[in-house]
Amino acid sequence: MDPPDDAIAHALLCLARDRAPRSFCPSEAARALSGDWRPLMPRVRALAATLPLIATQKGTPVDPVTARGPIRLTLKADR
């Protein structure tokens, strides 16, 4: 059974707060929620786009939904 969106959002925000100011890979949240984590990645990225998180790729801000390849997430500076 897939985790609900609020569980994914909670996992993302907890990782962001625990790691701040460092970034983390969104797959860490997916792995914490499911043994079969790869199918969750589109939802994880989509939810990350709605949260106070910044997605980067090679240090450049990107849209987590449309970015191809690995991204990193971190809390926005004002949080």
**Alpha-carbon separation of residue 61 from 10, 48, 54 (angstroms):** 22, 13, 7
Residue 79: pLDDT band by 50, 70, 90 thresholds?
very low
Tokens of 60: 């450049």
CA 64 to CA 49: how far, in whole Å? 6
CATH of 5-75, one of 3.40.50.2300, 1.10.3720.10, 3.30.1360.10, 1.10.10.10: 1.10.10.10
Could you give the percent of the chain with pLDDT greater than 90? Answer: 94
Q: So what's the pLDDT on residue 1?
A: 77
E strands, the chain, are 53-57, 60-61, 72-75
Estimate to the nearest angstrom the gap between the alpha carbon of 36 and the chain centroid. 16
Write down the pTM of the prediction: 0.93
